[in-house]
Structure 1
Amino acid sequence: MSVMRLKTINSGETTSGGKRLVLAFALAAALGGCDTMSALNPFDRPETYKPEVVAEVPADKLYNEGLARLQNGDTEGANKKFDEIDKQAPFSPYSKRGLIMAAYSNYEAQKYDDAITASKRFLAQNPASPDAAYAQYILAMSYYNQIPDATRDQERTDQALRAMQELLDRYPKSEYVLDVREKMLVARDQLAGKEMNVGRFYLEKRNYTGAVGRFRDVITKYQTTRHVEEALMRLTEAYMALGITNEAQTAAAVLGHNFPDSPWYKDAYTLLESGGLQPREDRGSYISRAFNGFTRAVVGLTGLGRL
């Protein structure tokens, strides 16, 4: 159909209904002709539409297949089976089991972020489940196994500590409590190490006030870590540099009282002596108060563990 013919028709040679019909065909022609319009219509070619029918696998079979793959070390294949349960039978008893197993298999595959997601979903959907403590444990250990070294950002360490504390608060009688308490000491040691690194940097730059703030955090928040002895000696050093001798003497005295055989105490004592001072504890100092009733319980730092 030519453009000229369309203009003639639009000028009034046809009825209004005829105009609409011609315009419709004109639009079709603009898209490539009537054949193109027909080709775009799936109802004109029913023989090309072949819906694929996928037979559903029973939830119990998917679950058992997932377990079998997990036992054979195929964590990725196991995950697919457990995930399929949630898609095909989200309200079956196996859906809940599949979700906790998905969390575990992701953990075993070291896909910690996926394990965290699955654990959180399980806890949100099944807070009163007998397996809730286990899900919380997987969540905490997934964060714990991503703790970086003390020179890097410690967000994962903070998340691990929060998740472990939540387990202690919610499930104080669970079988995971002892292990979590030990791992919390390791995580706290990591945070203390980060504070020490920054504090030493400030000391080197002669930012003594900034250094005091970091070492103060170590002795008030992370007393059970291996860093507390050095932190007390560094407080002695920083306060001496600032001329606040009362706090310097207190830091050294507290160090000597709690860790008399520590090489850090010898250094602190020597530093005070060079200034004509001796260790002397001021009971009103925050340093002294921080160690009231102090009991050290440091475990061996053996690195990150497995479930």
Structure 2
Amino acid sequence: MLSNKLGRSVVLSSVLGLMLAGCSSQSEEEQVSKTQIEAMYDQAQRSMASGNLSLAQNQLSSLNSRYPFGPFAHQIQLDLIYLHYKLDNTDEALAAVDRFISLNPNHKDVDYALYMRGLVNQRAEHNAVHDLAGVDRSDRDSSMAEEAFKDFAELVRKYPDSEYAADAKQRLIALKSRLAKKELAIAQYYMERQAYLAAANRARYILKHYSDTPEVENALAMMVESYEQLELPELREDAMKVLRANFPENRLVSTR
């Protein structure tokens, strides 16, 4: 009886020893991995600081793939969003933002992710070559500008105290003017083809949705001219009253 108890005690001691050894080994492996990850992350940061963004992107992408739940996982994902943006990798940047927000909806840096999504969409919409050449492209596709507007508006609405909110508000002003110009270009297209009702409707849309943009003056003037062509004197006079009250120097006001 005593020998059986002694035997079981020896077995239990052996098993416990193996378990403790395993735990110790696992802890050491985790520590080594953490040290390796930290070293690799520091290396990527140095690449970024020196301006070698492509190398930094490759290094962080490798880290993200090998250690998706490592100690720097969230920061690595945020850094990759920034690098995709800087390298004009629009699709990758948007996918990385959406993935981060989806997996970490309550993370303290969600406001930054939203801000970066707005920047990515705004840059995708922007055409530096035409801007530098002084070419007016108000009639070009505005879908990315609309997405950027939604992103910045969501940031300001959900995180009004964010450090990025002030810049987002300024970008909303510029984007609103850009979208108003697109509507005005469409209205002008209808005017040139004598589709006056369609032109007036587009101009009225500008007044409703972009009332605080400079494009309102031209929209009102277009409404006056459209209603005159359509022989709708009451609507023409209503539009003229608003134009006269807000833009007394407009050519239509001064010639009537």
Shorter chain as denominator, the TM-score bin is 0.7 to 0.9
Unaligned runs of 5+ in 1: 1-55, 274-307
Match of 2:52 among 68, 71, 74: 74
1:89-168 matches, within 5 Å, as: 89-148=67-126, 149-168=137-156
Q: CA deviation at 1:111?
A: 2.1
- Give the equivalent residue in structure 1 for 2:43: 65
Alignment-mate amino acid for residue 155 of structure 1: S
- Give the equivalent residue in structure 1 for 2:252: 267
Match of 1:192 among 160, 180, 186: 180
Q: Distance in 1 between matches of 2:79 and 2:244?
A: 51
CA deviation profile, 1:146-197 (whole Å, cap 9, x unmatched):
2244221111011111111111122111011111111111111111111111
Q: What's the TM-score, normalizing by structure 1?
A: 0.66
More helix by share: 2
1:220 aligns with 2:208: yes
CA deviation profile, 1:108-159 (whole Å, cap 9, x unmatched):
2222332222222211122212211111111111101122442211110111
Q: CA deviation at 1:269?
A: 4.9
Q: Distance in 1 between matches of 2:188 and 2:160?
A: 38
Q: Distance in 2 between matches of 1:66 and 1:129?
A: 23
Q: Distance in 2 between matches of 1:181 and 1:90?
A: 34
1:21-60 matches, within 5 Å, as: 58-60=36-38
Match of 2:245 among 257, 265, 268: 257
- Give the equivalent residue in structure 2 for 1:207: 195
Q: How many residues align?
A: 213
Q: CA deviation at 1:68?
A: 0.6
Structure with bigger gyration radius: 1
Q: Distance in 1 between matches of 2:117 and 2:71?
A: 22
Pairwise CA RMSD of aligned residues? Answer: 1.6
- Give the equivalent residue in structure 2 for 1:285: none
Q: Distance in 2 between matches of 1:130 and 1:85?
A: 22
Q: CA deviation at 1:268?
A: 4.1
